[in-house]
Amino acid sequence: MSELVIIGGGFAGLKAALSAAYENKEHNGDIQISLISQNDSLVIRPRLYQNDPAAMKVALEPILEPLGINFIQGIVSEIDPSNKRVAINKSPLLEISVNYNQLVVAAGSVVKTPPVPGLAEHSFNIDSYEAAIEFDNHVLKAARLPDMAGHNCFVILGAGITGIELATELRSRIAAHSNAETAGNIEIVLIDQANHIGPTPESNAQAVYEQALQEANVTVKLGQTITEVSRTSVTLADGEQIETASVIVTAGLQANPLADLFDVDKDDLGRLIVDDSLRVKGIKNIFAAGDIAAAATDADHVTLMSCQHAMPMGAHAGYNAAHSMLGLPHRKFSQPNYLTCIDLGLSGGLLTKGWDRQVEKTGDEAKALKKNINENRIYPPAGSAENILAHSHIDAQWADSRE
């Protein structure tokens, strides 16, 4: 029996496991698939800006067990490509190792915290399940004790997609924890060192962002940097001080530090550079997918850190890793079509098309699409082995990731 090991239980890792399981069954293979994850659930990370983040996860074992996929909960501490071995810390006192014939690295990303004095100690983020729960508990406290120093002001650092979604949703979250009056009285400040909102300055989506933030009564400060954060305030480079006990970092992502275990070239986000089969360049028998990998989508663009890219990358990595073990041809990865669907709170939503993010849909129509993506399309298949497999072949998974 040959061993396929997948590191990461997020969108890319789970897709890789399901895709590989389908190919193994389809071709009567003898592959043992193992998935390693620190968490026992798939975290629905794109939804962590919403209220009730505790509900934003799906248990992994009910999906993996029917397909005979071995689940190992633990933290990868070492990868030895020469001996094809992965070391895993299952607890502070227990380390195990597993061997592989092919390896898929899909360990995701972590939030990027700017090196500002006090920021790491006095800020929140919504990057992980645990961080989102911690922030939600803080929102509850701030909503119920609004007269405490700094509790009536929320400062969001980073006016990218996550920052926009959190800023336009935050009053609804305050209201859910208290009442409409309290939610209406809070101040929300969105700060970015760039001179534009969103990821692309030339996009005609700028006007849509600006209108939604205005309707959400969000104060936007562009071209600003912060110099210090304390428990009760933020200081800007121009000397302005904002009294707040709620600083949330949405300043972007970087590759999981696990990528540093490999002595290969990486991009400026620390991601492993892969070829069109999603094999890590410079290492045999190792594929990478999702936020930890940088893959060409076409001649001019590289994948972004989003589930829109993570899911098809995972499907392709699992397919190609299994095909390597089955002696079958690979399928080249490409994803030239790019869409972005953003939640704008009570203002509806925004759908953009293309890498320059030109507006396609706004308002209720885009909001309905975003709701469908968030609540249906990014969730994994469930139920019987037959149903899970029916939604696990590469073409089905590829279709799920596109509009």
Closest CA relative to residue 320, chosen from 54, 4, 51 = 4
Same domain for 86 and 59: yes
pLDDT for position 397: 59
The first and second tokens of residue 135, run together, are 């922030």
Same domain for 143 and 271: no
Same domain for 127 and 91: no
Give the domain-ending residue among 228, 249, 270: 249
Same domain for 388 and 258: yes
From first to last of its 403 residues, what are the pLDDT tens digits of the chain?
899 999 999 999 999 999 999 999 999 999 999 999 999 999 999 999 999 999 999 999 999 999 999 999 999 999 999 999 999 999 888 999 999 999 999 999 999 999 999 999 999 999 999 999 999 999 999 999 888 888 999 999 999 999 999 999 999 999 999 999 999 999 999 999 999 998 887 678 999 999 999 999 999 999 999 999 999 999 999 999 999 999 999 998 999 999 999 999 999 999 999 999 999 999 999 999 999 999 999 989 999 999 999 999 999 999 999 999 999 999 999 999 899 999 999 999 999 999 988 999 999 999 999 999 999 999 999 999 999 999 998 886 554 444 4
Tell me how far apart the alpha carbons of residues 375 and 395 are, in angstroms, rounded to a whole number.
21
Same domain for 263 and 195: no
The verdict on residue 185 lying in a domain is yes
pLDDT for position 386: 95
Give the domain-ending residue among 216, 249, 282: 249
Same domain for 128 and 100: no
Residue 141's H or E segment, with its range, is helix 129-144
Same domain for 286 and 180: no
Give the domain-ending residue among 206, 224, 249: 249
pLDDT for position 201: 77
The verdict on residue 162 lying in a domain is yes
Q: Classify each residue of 103-123 as buried b or exposed e, where b means 16 or more C-beta atoms within 10 Å of its C-beta.
A: bbbbbbbbbbbbebebbeebb
Structural domain containing residue 229: 113-249
DSSP 282: T
**CATH code, domain carrying 167:** 3.50.50.60
Residue 22, by phi and psi: left (phi above 0), alpha (psi -120 to 50) or beta?
A: alpha
Tell me how far apart the alpha carbons of residues 336 and 331 are, in angstroms, rounded to a whole number.
15
- The DSSP bridge partners found for residue 39 are none
3-state SS class at 162: helix
The verdict on residue 236 lying in a domain is yes
The verdict on residue 355 lying in a domain is no
Is 187:154 a contact under the CB 8 Å cutoff?
Answer: yes
Closest CA relative to residue 306, chosen from 10, 42, 46 = 46
Q: Please tell me the total count of domains within the chain.
A: 2
The verdict on residue 178 lying in a domain is yes
pLDDT for position 402: 44
